[in-house]
Every structure is written in C-alpha cells, then in structure tokens.
Amino acid sequence: MLYDRPYMRQTSDPASKQTSVVTTLLVLTIGIFVLQQMLNVFFPGVGGRENYFLTDWFALSGQNFRELKVWTVFSYAFMHSTQTIMHLIGNMLGLFFIGRILEPLLGKQQFLLLYFSGAFVGGLTYIAFHFNGSNPVVGASAAVFALVAFFCLRHPEQPITLLLFFVLPLTIKPKWLFRGVLAYSVFALLFTELPGNAHVAHSAHLGGLLVGVIYFRYVYSQQPSFTAAGSRPSVELPQWFKRTKKTERNISYRVNRTSPEDLQKEVDRILDKINSSGFGSLDHNEKATLDKAKDILGK
C-alpha cells in the first residue's frame, strides 16, 4: 500500500524527547563532585590529604586569576567542597526546585544565560574583593542566587514553603525572601568575609543576586516575547503550528488524470522521486496526486 512505505510514515517530534538543561546541569555538577571524591580516595595528596589537582586548575581564586586561568570564573561553579555533602545538596536543591519553574518560562538558552551570568558575575565580584588572595572558591551558589533573585522578582506575592535547616517548614512571600537574603549577604560580606572570619563567599552571592535583578529589569521585562505570552510560551507555539496545519488541509488541488493507468504511472514516478530525494522534494501538486491516488487506487 501507498502509506506502508517507511518514508511515508509519521515520526515523533525529537524536540519532545530532549533532556532539560536543569537535568543536564544537575548530572554534570554531581558527576564532577563524584570525580573530586574519587581523586581524593584513589589519588590522595601527601599525607593522605585532599587531591588538589582540580582545585588548582578549575577553582576560582585571586592567585589562579592572576595566573590567567580565566576559565575558572565559570568552572568553579561546577565544583563543590568535598569536606561536606551539604554544600552540594543545598545548591542542587535550589537548582532543581527553581530551575524546573524558570526553564519552561525562559526557554533553554535564556535560562543558561541567566545561570552562567550569575556564576560569571559572582566570580568577578569575589575577585574584586580578593584579587591578591589565594583562597579557592567553589560552588554553584552565585548561579543559584541569580535564579533565586529572578524568581522572587517574577513572583513577589506568591507564597512559597521552605524547609528551614531541611526540617522546619516556613511559608514566606518571595519578595521578603529576596530582601532577607540580600540584607544577610551584605551584612556577612562587611562583617565576616572582608575581616577574614568567614569560609563563605558572600561577595559571590551578591554578584549572583545582582545578575538576577538586572536580568529581570532589563532583559525579561523589556522583551515582548516574554511578557506578552506570560508564563506559557511553550504552550502557545505548538498551538500556532496546529492552526497552520489545519489551514493547509483546507487547500485543495485538482489532479488531472483521465485513467487509473495514467494515475498509477504518475504515482510510481512520484514514489521513485521520494525514494531518491525524500518526501520534502515534492511540490503541492505531487502531494495532492498521492492523496488522490490513495482514495482511487485503494478502492
């Protein structure tokens, strides 16, 4: 039969099977953490200490930056402290819960732009305060803080429930969460990080928050493709394609074939063309001929 041929069958949309960038980031970051731990176990440093190979080449520090290891302003966001797993868990939970909300809203490319911009600016902010230092910084906190800031500005009044210390449920509006995180980061920068009494890069957190604010104010809010479609850009596009397909089905073509024999010859010619050049090489009349032949020759 005409539609039994492989090139006449419909195929599923490959885009629907693509892995989300949030999942990709989670797998990549967790995989690098596992690699860090494996190096510590199988290739420990002198005296059984931590293996510093990845830290020396991919962690962010004033010393690495002075040595022109400029890629570290991105690579540090994929590494985490191996002293405790809570550093990794906290960042990955933030990426998962906020990322799965923002990725459909922004799209893959814009989501990655926001995420990596947060890591980049957060890294530069840290370097601005510690250019002459040598302490390494790792973690996706700056990138996640950029997501947090954007989410809080995008949904300021929508109550959310957080698990304080992973145990106590706390319901709060995002606008207050943003203000609290911002105030704490500024306080901790001035009174703990700069005096040298902290092991947390609050300056990087502030850089990430700044990126979230700038992205919301000057990128997201200024693009009609975001604001006009609201929070459903991924739904409207398929509907647009469906309406187009319905319009095309209403277009009719006349097939001038006087006998089944002539029609069969024309069908054979078209099938040979499909076999050699693909279905996309057919014009409207040839496609109409196949539709006509399915009705006539199939009887």
For residue 227, give the H/E element and its range.
Answer: helix 224-227
In the chain, the number of structural domains is 2
Closest alpha carbon to 144 in 55, 204, 193, 228: 204
Looking at the structure, do residues 197 and 74 belong to the same domain, yes or no? yes
Looking at the structure, do residues 145 and 101 belong to the same domain, yes or no? yes
286 assigned to some structural domain: yes
Give the per-residue pLDDT at 55.
93
**How far from 195 is each of 59, 184, 187, 191, CA to CA, in Å?**
22, 16, 12, 6
The 3-state DSSP composition of the chain as helix, strand, coil percent (nearest 5) reads 70, 5, 25
One-letter amino acid at 212 equals: G
pLDDT digits (tens, 9 = 90+) for 72-84: 999 999 999 998 8
Digitized pLDDT (tens) for each residue of the chain, 299 residues in all: 444 444 444 444 444 457 899 999 999 999 999 999 999 999 887 777 888 899 999 999 999 999 999 999 999 999 999 988 999 999 999 999 999 999 999 999 999 999 999 999 999 999 999 999 989 999 999 999 999 999 999 999 988 887 766 667 788 899 999 999 999 999 999 999 999 887 899 999 999 999 999 999 999 988 765 654 444 333 333 444 444 444 444 444 444 545 777 778 888 888 877 776 667 677 878 878 877 777 666 55
- Domain boundaries, position 171: 20-220
| Residue whose structure tokens are 């995180």 | 181
Looking at the structure, do residues 137 and 55 belong to the same domain, yes or no? yes
Pairwise CA distance, residues 97 & 151, whole Å = 11
Task: Out of 220, 244, 265, pick the residue that ends a domain.
Answer: 220
Looking at the structure, do residues 192 and 280 belong to the same domain, yes or no? no
209 assigned to some structural domain: yes
- Give the three-state DSSP class for 57: helix
Threshold 0.85, pTM exceeds: no
Q: Are 246 and 237 in contact (CB under 8 A)?
A: no
Give the per-residue pLDDT at 264.
80
